[in-house]
Amino acid sequence: MNTTTPKRLLSLLLTLCMLAALVSACSDFWDELDDDPYAPSTTPSSSAVQTPLPPFSGNQRDYRVRPIGGGNDTVTLMFYLCGSDLETESGAATEDLWEIMQADISDKLNIVVETGGSYAWQNDYVDASTNERWLINNDGLNFLDDVGAKDMSRGSTLTDFIKFSAQNYPADRYMLVLWDHGGGTVDGYAYDERFGGGMMPISELSQAIANSGVVFDMIGFDCCLMSTVETAFMVEKYADYMVASQRVEPGEGWYYTPWIKALSANTSIPTLELGKIIVDSYIEESRYGYYGRELTLSVTDLTYITDMFESMYEFFSAKQGTLIDDGTFISTSHLLSGNRAITDNYDLVDLILLIENMGGSGELQANLKYCVAYNGTTIDSHNGLSLYFPYSNLRKVGDALDVFDEIGIAESYQSFITSFANIMVGGQVYSGGGSGGNPLGGDDFDFDYWLNLDWVDELFFGLFDDFYYDYSYDDSDLEIYLKDDEYVLSLSDDDWDIITDIVQWVYLDDGGGYIELGGDSMYEFNDDGDLIIAFDNTWVALDGQLVCFYTLAEFDDGNNWYTYGAVPIYYNNRDAELVLMWDNDNPYGYVAGWRYSDVGSSSQKGLFEIENGMRFDFVCEYYTYDGEYDGQYFWGDMTVRGAIEVSYEDVGDDDCLVFYELRDICGNSYWTEAVVYSMY
């Protein structure tokens, strides 16, 4: 029985946390700019700005780099190419090198490259066992130096490369492109798979650039999630412009040929004009791929950032004392919960969207739009810059505060972030985490862990006892009963108002314990507002074989929809996952590709292509009948022979336990009692 279409549509239409979006177009690829783009402007060129803005309320600093003009500038473009698994598995770094070499490169443009970070390079030139430096010109890829095997996720490696480039290729203008995986404000940049360590925090990245002594015209991040205000705050010390993405990027990242051509044709090209070409060519080249519906790339004018931060500090400081009283905490929790699906556990939210949700600040929003000089996107509610805001992964708060200290973000803002996170933790302490993390047996809430963290203030919790009392549940309220021939869960409207997520979890009894089939946001309410508890005895299958499946994200704007999720696998002796997608054009689903799931703490940039002959093992989580976690097990395997068919198949005669998880505004998880679906 194939019921894929109605199941996916039901999931999309009824989810509480839908995102409304319209595909927004970039402005014309070759838009004309003002005669002097380096002069202060009251209406900066931006695809995100449709109406004239009020004057910038702060003080715009001077540009540190000004082209000589007339095409007379020399430019050194430093390309820090940490290939990682993106190169090893798909040759994405090699592809970008090839794109650069398709341009007619000016003799006034020096393109200096450092390669490393990969187990293997998909070309005949680069040696994966070491770090090498290259010069790209019209003769191709020219070897410069072997500097030995160095971890490209360490700041000292980057510093050494920048110094080498500037000393050997002095220029009027310097630009830096950082290529690889990205993990946003907290996790930072670059995963060197040869060394297997952590990523480079933006605080270490800051020190690395500072130690080089080089001032840049532009610093670009060809990686995921790095267009954050915290990254911009850091980069502002060393550059005039930043180019980066708020969301994940496809594996091949930017399209290099058009903008390298433009820079070669006019080495005095204004940086904003060059940035617009980078953005527009990336959007145009990638919009028809598997990430085409959620592309973002923006150019940030860093000369506005410092004063924008002053207005941001003022806004959040004013909000700190009213988080509970004016309902900001509750509305923000709902916003962040909906945003979580598009950023996994990186706790990034569009800053303008957040400000609007908190009651708005016209001055701050206007100042932000000056900072975002140009914004390209195929998804709504992405205005160019994200903000780290703790919600789904509170264990990262301490790391974030350390980064804030090291890059110089004000104590007043850190105090606001800490207050919000403390309200979250206090709600979890008050409720003991809800029903626990495991519906089969429950996980004890780790009070000691949270109360021993430096940033957690137990005395602070007492200020909100009345709030926690009013906005918490008793597990006994989550009773399922039979109504009109269907099982339902009934809660009051007030209780439903503090629920941010609903997830259906299914466990298959295989005769020795329970296989966790996975979790999906599939649910429906009846006309009385009751949650319908239902399961049709089918689950996701690949080529007819049942697999574990976990929904990651959903989107529907009434005209277009898509949803995707992950099937855990074991491949090349590493944890990995297949990504399945359903959309308007493919309502029955398809396998979009695969990716490793153990790549440090970075967001996975791109997917690797499924190829004939690939063999992988499917993986499942297993629990005993006592509800104890028993570990991961292999649950079948597959050798790819042609396109993989996605379907929903009957799970058979074995019993299935179906739970619904309700997550509240403080991050507590509450589980309904199990409903057993049996064929007998």
Q: Residue 445's pLDDT band (boundaries 50, 70, 90)?
A: confident
Average of per-residue pLDDT across 635-648: 97
Average of per-residue pLDDT across 282-301: 91
Per-residue pLDDT at 56? 76
The DSSP-derived string for 575-625 is EEEEEEEEETTEEEEEEEEEEES-STTSB--S-BPP-TT-EEEEEEEEE-T
Q: Residue 196's pLDDT band (boundaries 50, 70, 90)?
A: confident
Residues 560-582: tens digit of each pLDDT? 788 889 999 999 999 999 999 99
Q: Residue 645's pLDDT band (boundaries 50, 70, 90)?
A: very high
Query: How many CB atoms sit inside 10 A of residue 415's CB?
Result: 13
Average of per-residue pLDDT across 66-84: 97
Per-residue pLDDT at 602? 53
Per-residue pLDDT at 51? 52
User: Token pair for residue 423?
Assistant: 């309200």
More confident residue, 281 or 583: 281
Least confident piece of the model among 325-334, 393-402, 474-483: 474-483
Position 388, amino acid = Y
Give yes or no for a contact between 154 and 133, defined as CB atoms under 8 angstroms apart. Answer: no
Residues for the chain: how many in total?
680
**Residues pairing with 672 in the sheet:** none
How far lies 618's CA from each of 71, 97, 206, 568, 571, in Å?
A: 57, 35, 41, 6, 9
pLDDT at 592 over 70: yes
Position 409, amino acid = I
pLDDT at 89 over 60: yes
Average of per-residue pLDDT across 455-483: 88
Task: Count CA atoms closer than 13 A to 95's CA, side-chain side.
Answer: 13
Average of per-residue pLDDT across 53-70: 88
pLDDT at 447 over 80: yes
Q: Residue 49's pLDDT band (boundaries 50, 70, 90)?
A: very low
Give yes or no for a contact between 598 and 574, defined as CB atoms under 8 angstroms apart. Answer: yes
pLDDT at 116 over 70: yes
When the pLDDT of each residue in the chain is averaged and rounded to a whole number, the result is: 88
If phi > 0 it is left, if psi is from -120 to 50 it is alpha, else beta; for residue 470 that is alpha
pLDDT at 31 over 90: no
Three-state SS string across 420-452, please?
HHHHHHHHHHHHCCECCCCCCCCCCCCHHHHHC
pLDDT at 363 over 90: no
pLDDT at 40 over 80: no
Give yes or no for a contact between 566 and 536, defined as CB atoms under 8 angstroms apart. Answer: no
Give yes or no for a contact between 152 and 142, defined as CB atoms under 8 angstroms apart. Answer: no
Residues 201-237: tens digit of each pLDDT? 999 999 999 999 999 999 999 999 999 999 999 999 9
Q: Residue 444's pLDDT band (boundaries 50, 70, 90)?
A: confident
What's the longest Cα–Cα distance across the chain?
82
Q: What percent of the chain has pLDDT over 70?
A: 90
Per-residue pLDDT at 224? 93
Residues 151-174: tens digit of each pLDDT? 999 999 999 999 999 999 999 999
pLDDT at 14 over 70: no
Report which secondary-structure segment, H or E, holds 266.
none
Average of per-residue pLDDT across 84-91: 94
Average of per-residue pLDDT across 281-295: 89
- How far apart are alpha carbons 655 and 674 in whole angstroms? 12
Give yes or no for a contact between 210 and 237, defined as CB atoms under 8 angstroms apart. Answer: yes
Model pTM score: 0.89
